[in-house]
Amino acid sequence: MFIDSHCHLNFPELSDKINLIQDSMLINRVTHALVVSVGKKSIDSLINLVSKHDNLLASVGTHPEYGIDEEFSVDDICSIASINKKIIAIGETGLDYYRGSNYFEVQKERFRQHIRAARILGLPLIVHTRSSAVDTIRILKEEKAYEIGGVMHCFTESWDIAKEAMNLNFFISISGIVTFKNATTVCELALKTPLDKLLIETDSPYLTPEPYRGKLNDPSNVFYVAKKISELRNIDIMEVGKSSTKNFFDLFKVSI
């Protein structure tokens, strides 16, 4: 079986297709999905969605590029997470310097707040890092994020950064990018990351893997991420499924 460790099923593109998506997940043996928060304004819709489906779980947090003017304090995060049993992680949070921004300092402070909330709650972090690896690793160390660990979601940084993250008690999550032409770095990560530190995800509705690139993505397609990883490593696809599923349950402290 397979688990999508990162998706956005509450986004409008997917939320009105949830029954069809659940059917597709069943066909591809995708048993669970973690629906990840990107901001305070969407928390209610996210919680409402996962509360209706036993196989959907949730996080709480703010994407580094979303809701820059949105106040989301440590107390806010803790208050929301502590009263919702289906919230199993804090995030996604982190740093994104890819497009350039006047808000890098805001991102850094908000990242620190999310880490502090995660430590208070004892919940793992879902970390987004793009073109910001040095600052991301530095802040994780300074805020002692290794005490709770987490996952580096949709990871595309170098193998050296991956090793630093794993040394800080973080898993590496591979997305559909691994199936893209010329995705050399992600293929290297998929090949070198120890199976006991590997998670798989779709980041749907984005990053649809081959052979469906260009179409709307959903959690059922995490099967194709696992398939590509198995081909790169020359192992059975179910070995990828078994190990990544165990890693998911171990990290997020949930059971079937």
Q: What is the 3-state secondary structure (H, E, C) of 186-240?
A: HHHHHHHCCHHHEEECCCECCCCCCCCCCCCCCHHHHHHHHHHHHHHHCCCHHHH
- pLDDT over 70 for what percent of the chain? 99
As a whole number of angstroms, the distance between CA 227 and CA 223 comes to 6
Q: Which residues contact 65 (CB under 8 A, 6 or more apart)?
A: 96, 99, 101
* Ordered structural domains, the chain, with CATH: 2-252 (3.20.20.140)
**Over residues 132-139, mean pLDDT:** 98
Burial 191-226 (b: 16+ CB within 10 A, else e): eebeeebbbbbbbbbbbbbeeeeeeebbbbbbbbbb
**Over residues 96-103, mean pLDDT:** 83
- pLDDT over 90 for what percent of the chain? 91
According to the annotation, is 114 in a ligand binding site? no
According to the annotation, is 63 in a ligand binding site? no
Tokens of 242: 């078994």
The model's pLDDT over 165-186, given as tens digits with 9 standing for 90+, comes to 999 999 999 999 999 999 999 9
What is the pLDDT at residue 256?
65
Residue 68 has pLDDT above 90, yes or no: no
E strand or H helix at 152, and its extent?
Answer: strand 150-152
As a whole number of angstroms, the distance between CA 14 and CA 21 comes to 8
How many residues make up the chain in this entry? 256
What is the pLDDT at residue 6?
99
Residue 252 has pLDDT above 70, yes or no: yes
The percent of the chain in helix, strand and coil, each rounded to the nearest 5, is 50, 20, 35
According to the annotation, is 128 in a ligand binding site? yes
According to the annotation, is 92 in a ligand binding site? yes
Three-class secondary structure of residue 155 per DSSP: coil
According to the annotation, is 135 in a ligand binding site? no
What is the pLDDT at residue 196?
99
**Over residues 67-91, mean pLDDT:** 90
According to the annotation, is 203 in a ligand binding site? yes
As a whole number of angstroms, the distance between CA 161 and CA 28 comes to 32
- pTM of the complete model: 0.96
Residue 134 has pLDDT above 80, yes or no: yes
Residue 70 — very low, low, confident or very high, per pLDDT cuts 50/70/90? confident
